[in-house]
Amino acid sequence: MAPVGLLDGDVQLTTLARQIEKYSPSPDAKKGPGAVFRTGEPELFESLTAADLVSMNESFVRARTIFDRMMEESLARHNECNGRSSSTSSFVLTS
């Protein structure tokens, strides 16, 4: 998957969305989520080190923190507008 466009009238949300893009799997990866998405084949890790697990968890936590912040700010903006969004966000993904 690759984002092909991002539109938002709120600079902060656009900045956060660009940060979360860093954690999107590369479709060209030889292994990991990008390879699984591309090939449709499951991937089995026969062994993982503690460092591998810590690294995966840290990446997930960073991406999740950014995503949660985006959602909180979006909801706050929506509530401030009494149910009317002041801008439009569009995320377009292709596979």
pLDDT tens track for 50-84: 998 888 888 888 888 888 888 888 888 777 875 55
Reported in sequence order, the residue ranges of 1-95 that DSSP labels E, i.e. its strands, are 2-7, 90-94
**Residue 82: what are its φ and ψ, rounded to 5°?**
55, 50
The mean pLDDT of 18-34, rounded to a whole number, is 78
Question: What was the pLDDT predicted at 43?
Answer: 86
Q: Is the pLDDT of residue 6 over 80?
A: no
Question: What was the pLDDT predicted at 61?
Answer: 87
Q: Locate the domains of the chain by residue range.
A: 2-94
Q: Model pTM?
A: 0.47
